[in-house]
Amino acid sequence: MDEICTGLCRLMVDSGADAGLAQFVSLLVGVLLVSGVPLLTVILLIWIERKVAARIQDRIGPNRVGPIGLMQTFADLLKLLGKEDITPTAADRLLYNVAPLVSFASVVLIWAVVPFTPFHYGVDLEIGVLFFVAVASFGTLAIMVAGWASNNKYALLGAFRVVSLLVSYEVPLVFALLAPVMLAGSMSMLDIVNAQSGMWFVVLSPLAFVIFYVSSQAETGRAPFDLIEAESELVAGFNIEYSGMKFGMFFAAEFLHVFTNGILMALLFFGGWMGPLYYESPLIAFAWLGAKGGIIYLTTLWLRNTVPRLRIDQIMAFNWKCLVPLSIANIVLVSLALKVLQELDMAPRQLIGASLVDMLPATIVLLIINGALTIYLLGILRRRGKDARREAQAAPVQFARASAD
């Protein structure tokens, strides 16, 4: 992207254009090229999402419009274009209209720092990971604004739940992100991928990956954390008053966010474009990244369509009493172990360019530590579960409050 922008900029200056204008236009072209990827995939994602959900529920899914229903999204788009757009008189008009824009923009903006191949990326910010954390939290803001501005009690309840849920799960998410940053010794996405040449970070720090996976499922509001859109209690939650294209934008943002998380997990934990022959051609590198991200994306869809919804008190307790302490313990143990290994010269100090053999002792030690922590955690959970079951048996049927709000 760099060469394209600079090349274009030089070409325009040579042909007599104003230097500032030339720079602006070349940046704009770069932005359109980078954002083209998520904007084009989102059309396909809606179809994939519906098809996969249908297959898991033993249905056929969209199959009428176009071959195997591929044109369904375009038909839906046309339908949404013709829908009346109702703004409730009680709503705060400005915030009500801005919320869907912010929601979608926050997801697209993440792609500014997502590298597609070793040579094709928007920008390689030195604080790439932090940029992702900062931008992604705008999505939470958009949902709160939507719920508040609708001036509807269901919408407000939904928005309150979302904010408490998303905000809580951001803590383990960000803690899990510390692991790849620490291993690579850099916050740049490109450096993090290059540092995985010896060993993928999912092997070095599997618990960080699991924590990131679970909390990103919560961040996108997918089952089992989908009480944002609890249809049975809140009718739809924060987007109840939205209709037409604005409603569609919330959903496009959600679909895209799930896929974006898949790609990010591939980059941070699964070596990004690393794979056989990736250095031969950028196309192969891009295919590897797409394949890894796609598989992770499909597993999140699988999870979403398989597990039931949890209650809000259960979700919160799981986060604050299990995931957060676990993520802290994980960071402490991994950093301690890696430092000791580095002092003993059993692990390379610089992972970029390290080979598989260099990484082997560190891998084994870290795997044992992660395994021990997992077994310890499962032991605690098992004991807690037993206690809870015994209590439930001792006391006669006692229904929990139906709505925890």
- Please, which of residues 248-307 interact with other proteins by CB under 8 A? 248-249, 252-253
Q: Which residues contact 210 (CB under 8 A, 6 or more apart)?
A: none
For residues 33 and 284, which CB has a smaller minimum distance to other proteins in the complex?
A: 33
Cβ 164 to other proteins, closest distance in Å? 5
Region of 67-75, 99-107, 220-228, 257-265 interacting with other proteins (CB under 8 A):
99-107
Render 180-213 in DSSP notation, one character per residue.
HHHHHT---HHHHHHTTSSS-HHHH-HHHHHHHH
Rounded Cα distance between 78 and 331, Å, is 49
> Running DSSP on this structure, what letter comes out for residue 321?
I
3-state secondary structure of 240: coil
Among 129, 204, 267, 274, binds other proteins (CB under 8 A): 129
For residues 83 and 383, which CB has a smaller minimum distance to other proteins in the complex?
A: 83
Rounded Cα distance between 337 and 149, Å, is 49
**Contact call for residue 174 and other proteins (CB under 8 A):** yes
For residues 44 and 167, which CB has a smaller minimum distance to other proteins in the complex?
A: 167
- List the one residue out of 359, 364, 309, 365 whose CA is nearest residue 336: 365
β-sheet bridge partners, residue 121:
115
Cβ 280 to other proteins, closest distance in Å? 26
Among 19, 74, 325, 403, binds other proteins (CB under 8 A): 325
Region of 55-63, 103-111, 203-211, 356-364 interacting with other proteins (CB under 8 A):
103-111
Among 8, 12, 34, 214, binds other proteins (CB under 8 A): 34
Q: Which of residues 180-219 bind other proteins (CB under 8 A)?
A: 181-182, 185-187
Region of 11-19, 257-265, 335-343, 369-377 interacting with other proteins (CB under 8 A):
335-343
For residues 200 and 250, which CB has a smaller minimum distance to other proteins in the complex?
A: 250
Q: Which residues contact 13 (CB under 8 A, 6 or more apart)?
A: 19, 22
Q: Which residues contact 22 (CB under 8 A, 6 or more apart)?
A: 8, 9, 12, 13
Among 8, 12, 30, 189, binds other proteins (CB under 8 A): 30
Rounded Cα distance between 339 and 271, Å, is 22
By CB under 8 A, the count of residues binding other proteins is: 93
For residues 249 and 266, which CB has a smaller minimum distance to other proteins in the complex?
A: 249
**Contact call for residue 340 and other proteins (CB under 8 A):** no
Angle CA(252)–CA(30)–CA(265) in degrees, nearest 5? 50
Alpha-helix runs per DSSP H in 274-404:
282-306, 312-318, 324-343, 356-394
**Contact call for residue 235 and other proteins (CB under 8 A):** yes
Rounded Cα distance between 19 and 13, Å, is 6
Q: Which of residues 352-381 bind other proteins (CB under 8 A)?
A: none
Cβ 100 to other proteins, closest distance in Å? 6
